């Protein structure tokens, strides 16, 4: 009987995607008769940005068995409770999209926000933000991991990290190499395809070394050396919905203790990120080249830093969209090689994580069953589209009149599914989470309300609560949340106590 097992796995690319993949495969396959090799080129380097994450990354680290404090220390990381959006609805307005929930469950099995909407409709003025522990803590610069206190909002504290992605890749490289992943330094010059079925047989390095494999994982970044240049799977362009196509990034000195959240400030033709780490602050300006020159974008970024720049501005170009096939024959694209969605909601590293999880759950043998491949491609396309729609929402529901860019974004036609989500909310306060959709009710609610796409109704079942008593209940809830937030250590104290790196002040 022939051996149908995939034994030779070759990962091409050693950025965040390459080393996350290598670490996860090493964890699953260590001493199980498979060889994992990773090829990366020091000469080409990595994209070198990508520092903010969402809470699901904690699961990735937990599955690997990584000690969280050691990881935060090694990556000079900080904790993240959400993203503050500044100037998105109108100039001068801001809101936080928090991790975790708003309020606490009520008895009638309808989401909490319907009660909040009912009160608002009845004329009570209670800001949505005051029902989020993450927002209350973020605004006070406080942080703690969840605490095991029954019925307390503190039990539900949700958080992610802001870290140096280069250091994360280094950390995972150590993890993977300890579990027998072999790293090969070198530049892939050519890719050999099988004459029989067009799958990848080998890659050849500039040194002449030939590397054969059963399964190839393309982590080569935007260019997609295997999935696109060799296999020509094609790209679905989404820039008519997400028109920003360039970014310029620059780190600067920290100007005080790091805040436990990322900031996204809208400018005239894009937006600027601010990500505080232990040793510096990451900044970048994502913009649309149709409405802004590179020089203008760099000047706006430099003018809006709150510390001294510590490197030269780094320009980046991209096209929003996704590969038409993420998995083709014996090649799976993970990371930027699989597609790109701008970092507005810090989703790229997450999409790497879900790519790896799906690959492991659908792990093939050498027959590369077409149904497995189709399944992978179908779920991945769906995940990309759901994240895409959530990002488009931020652009669509703006009321800015100061630039053609924002006016164009507001007037653009949007995907039907997104239009349906917006209609459902605006007409009756309804938000539904489909299947495993990444962003749930609190996320949609935060952005729609934060950018003035207000609901004009609420669920009829919320009528069962008498307004004055509901008001008293929600007032108490707000007080508990504020009190819990107040009781937490400052973010800086928490880092000092548990996970300060050597460069922490
Ligand atoms: P890369 O980092 O580009 O790595 C590619 C690898 O392939 C490198 O090791 C390179 O040497 C290797 N390679 C390429 N060609 C060859 C060859 N011929 N031979 C050998 N090796 C080769 N994500 C988030 O989750 N949060 C964020 O806040 C965030 N911010 C971002 C901001 C911007 C402006 C951009 C552009 C991206 C951002 N991302 C963010 C995305 C994030 O940076 C990427 O998802 C992540 O870094 C993974 O990149 P990668 O490993 O796929 O590609």
Tell me the per-residue pLDDT of 459-504, one tens digit each, with 9 for 90 and over. 999 998 899 999 999 999 999 999 999 999 999 999 999 999 998 8
In a domain, 352, yes or no: yes
Residue with tokens 């349906």: 420
Compute how many other C-beta atoms are within 10 angstroms of the C-beta atom of residue 340. Answer: 22
Specify the pLDDT at position 193.
Answer: 98
The sheet carrying 281-287 orders its strands as 94-98, 82-86, 262-267, 270-276, 281-287, 246-252, 314-317
CATH number at residue 222: 3.50.50.60
| Helix or strand run (H / E) with residue 283 | strand 281-287
Q: Is 178 known to be catalytic?
A: no
Give the mutation target among 165, 200, 273, 274 for probing the ligand 1 site: most ligand atoms within 8 A of CB: 165
Catalytic one of 27, 31, 80, 324: 80
User: Token pair for residue 430?
Assistant: 């309804």
Residues with CB under 6 A from ligand 1: 12-18, 39-41, 44-47, 49-53, 165, 187-188, 219-221, 225, 247, 249, 284, 316, 318, 335-337, 343, 346, 348-349, 352
Which one, of 274, 255, 254, lies nearest residue 264 by Cα? Answer: 274
496: CB partners within 8 A, 6+ apart: 504
Tell me the per-residue pLDDT of 145-189, one tens digit each, with 9 for 90 and over. 999 988 899 998 999 999 999 999 999 999 999 999 999 999 999
Specify the pLDDT at position 3.
Answer: 80
333 annotated to a ligand binding site: no
Q: Ligand 1 centroid vs 401 CA: distance in angstroms?
A: 35
In a domain, 33, yes or no: yes
Tell me the per-residue pLDDT of 187-204, one tens digit each, with 9 for 90 and over. 999 999 999 999 999 999
- If you ran DSSP here, which 8-state letter would residue 385 be given? H
pLDDT value at 50 more than 90: no
In a domain, 234, yes or no: yes
In a domain, 177, yes or no: yes
User: Token pair for residue 1?
Assistant: 């009987």
In a domain, 28, yes or no: yes
Distance CA 85, CA 104 (A): 24
Q: Ligand 1 centroid vs 427 CA: distance in angstroms?
A: 41
Specify the pLDDT at position 390.
Answer: 98
Tell me the per-residue pLDDT of 62-99, one tens digit each, with 9 for 90 and over. 999 999 999 999 999 999 999 999 999 999 999 999 99
Specify the pLDDT at position 283.
Answer: 98
User: Token pair for residue 322?
Assistant: 């996704």
320 annotated to a ligand binding site: no
Range of the domain at 213: 8-51+164-239+320-368
Residue whose CA lies nearest to ligand 1 atom number 14? 220
Specify the pLDDT at position 136.
Answer: 98
Q: Ligand 1 centroid vs 75 CA: distance in angstroms?
A: 17
Tally the domains of the chain. Answer: 1
Which one, of 436, 334, 324, 438, lies nearest residue 374 by Cα? Answer: 324
pLDDT value at 1 more than 70: no
Compute how many other C-beta atoms are within 10 angstroms of the C-beta atom of residue 155. Answer: 13
| Phi, psi (rounded to 5 degrees) for 490 | -70, 155
Tell me the per-residue pLDDT of 271-289, one tens digit each, with 9 for 90 and over. 999 999 999 999 999 999 9
| Helix or strand run (H / E) with residue 332 | strand 331-333
Specify the pLDDT at position 139.
Answer: 98
Average pLDDT over residues 403-415: 98
427 annotated to a ligand binding site: no
Specify the pLDDT at position 108.
Answer: 79
In a domain, 191, yes or no: yes
For residue 337, which atom of ligand 1 is closest to its CA? 52
- Chain-centre distance for alpha carbon 501: 24
Q: Is the ipTM of this complex over 0.95?
A: yes
Tell me the per-residue pLDDT of 118-147, one tens digit each, with 9 for 90 and over. 999 999 988 999 999 999 999 999 999 999
Tell me the per-residue pLDDT of 231-276, one tens digit each, with 9 for 90 and over. 999 999 999 999 999 999 999 999 999 999 999 999 999 999 999 9
Specify the pLDDT at position 33.
Answer: 92
For residue 42, which atom of ligand 1 is closest to its CA? 11
Specify the pLDDT at position 7.
Answer: 96
476 annotated to a ligand binding site: no
Distance CA 389, CA 419 (A): 9
Q: What angle do CA 359, 361, 362 make, to 5 degrees?
A: 65
Give the mutation target among 250, 284, 343 for probing the ligand 1 site: most ligand atoms within 8 A of CB: 343
When the pLDDT of each residue in the chain is averaged and rounded to a whole number, the result is 96
Tell me the per-residue pLDDT of 424-458, one tens digit each, with 9 for 90 and over. 999 999 999 988 899 999 999 999 999 999 999 99
- If you ran DSSP here, which 8-state letter would residue 290 be given? T
For residue 249, which atom of ligand 1 is closest to its CA? 34
Distance CA 295, CA 102 (A): 41
In a domain, 39, yes or no: yes
- Chain-centre distance for alpha carbon 218: 20
| Phi, psi (rounded to 5 degrees) for 203 | -120, 145
Specify the pLDDT at position 106.
Answer: 85
221 annotated to a ligand binding site: no
User: Token pair for residue 30?
Assistant: 């260590």
Q: Ligand 1 centroid vs 15 CA: distance in angstroms?
A: 5
The sheet carrying 200-205 orders its strands as 188-193, 200-205, 210-212
Specify the pLDDT at position 370.
Answer: 96
Residues 439, 387: contact at Cβ < 8 Å? Answer: yes
Give the mutation target among 348, 356, 384, 438 for probing the ligand 1 site: most ligand atoms within 8 A of CB: 348
Residue with tokens 């100061």: 402
336 annotated to a ligand binding site: yes
Distance CA 396, CA 412 (A): 7
Distance CA 318, CA 425 (A): 32
For residue 186, which atom of ligand 1 is closest to its CA? 20
Q: Ligand 1 centroid vs 149 CA: distance in angstroms?
A: 40
Distances (CA, A) of 36 to 29, 122, 326: 9, 62, 20
Tell me the per-residue pLDDT of 200-229, one tens digit each, with 9 for 90 and over. 999 999 999 999 999 999 999 999 999 999
Distance CA 84, CA 96 (A): 4
Q: Ligand 1 centroid vs 52 CA: distance in angstroms?
A: 14
Q: Ligand 1 centroid vs 317 CA: distance in angstroms?
A: 12
Tell me how far apart the terminal alpha carbons of the chain are, to the nearest angstrom: 62
In a domain, 97, yes or no: no
15 annotated to a ligand binding site: yes
Distance CA 97, CA 84 (A): 6
Specify the pLDDT at position 229.
Answer: 98
Specify the pLDDT at position 2.
Answer: 66
């Amino acid at each position: 009987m022939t051996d149908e097992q995939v034994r030779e796995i070759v990962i091409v690319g050693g950025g965040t995607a390459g080393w996350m993949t290598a670490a996860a495969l090493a964890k699953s396959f260590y001493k199980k008769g498979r060889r994992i090799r990773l090829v990366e080129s020091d000469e080409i380097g990595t994209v070198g940005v990508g520092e903010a994450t969402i809470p699901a990354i904690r699961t990735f680290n937990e599955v690997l068995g990584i000690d969280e404090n050691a990881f935060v220390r090694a990556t000079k990381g900080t904790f993240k409770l959400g993203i503050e959006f500044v100037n998105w609805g109108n100039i001068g307005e801001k809101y936080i999209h928090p991790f975790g929930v708003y309020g606490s469950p009520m008895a009638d099995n309808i989401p909490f926000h319907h009660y909040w909407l009912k009160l608002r409709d009845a004329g009570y003025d209670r800001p949505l933000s005051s029902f989020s522990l993450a927002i209350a803590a973020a605004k006070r610069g406080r942080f703690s991991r969840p605490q095991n206190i029954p019925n307390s909002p503190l039990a539900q504290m949700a958080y992610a990290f802001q870290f140096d992605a280069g250091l994360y890749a280094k950390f995972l490289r150590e993890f993977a190499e300890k579990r027998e992943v072999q790293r090969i330094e070198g530049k892939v010059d050519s890719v050999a395809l099988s004459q029989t079925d067009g799958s990848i047989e080998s890659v050849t390095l500039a040194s002449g070394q030939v590397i054969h494999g059963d399964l190839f994982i393309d982590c080569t970044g935007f260019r997609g050396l295997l999935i696109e240049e060799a296999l020509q799977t094609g790209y679905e362009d989404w820039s008519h919905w997400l028109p920003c196509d360039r970014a310029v990034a620059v780190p600067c000195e920290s100007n005080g203790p790091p805040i436990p959240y990322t900031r996204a400030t809208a400018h005239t033709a894009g937006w600027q990120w601010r990500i505080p780490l232990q040793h510096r602050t990451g900044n970048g300006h994502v913009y649309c080249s149709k409405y802004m020159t590179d020089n203008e974008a760099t000047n706006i970024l430099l003018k809006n830093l709150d510390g001294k720049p510590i490197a030269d501005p780094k320009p980046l170009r991209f096209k929003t969209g996704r590969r038409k096939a993420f998995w083709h024959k014996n090649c799976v694209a993970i990371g930027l090689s699989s597609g790109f969605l701008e970092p507005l909601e810090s989703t790229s590293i997450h999409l790497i994580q879900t790519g790896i999880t799906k690959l492991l759950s659908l792990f093939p043998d050498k027959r590369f069953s077409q149904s497995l491949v189709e399944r992978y491609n179908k779920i991945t396309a769906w995940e990309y589209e759901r994240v895409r729609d959530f990002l488009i929402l931020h652009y669509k529901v703006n009321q800015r009149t100061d630039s053609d860019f924002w006016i164009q974004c507001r007037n653009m036609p949007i995907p039907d599914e997104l239009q349906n989500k917006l209609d459902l909310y605006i007409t009756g306060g309804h938000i539904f989470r489909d299947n495993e959709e990444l962003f749930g009710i609190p996320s949609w609610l935060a952005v729609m309300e934060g950018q003035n796409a207000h609901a004009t109704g609420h669920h009829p079942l919320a009528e069962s609560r008498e307004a004055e008593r509901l008001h008293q209940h929600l007032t108490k809830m707000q007080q508990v949340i504020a009190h819990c937030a107040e009781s937490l250590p400052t973010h800086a104290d928490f880092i000092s106590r548990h996970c300060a790196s050597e460069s922490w002040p």
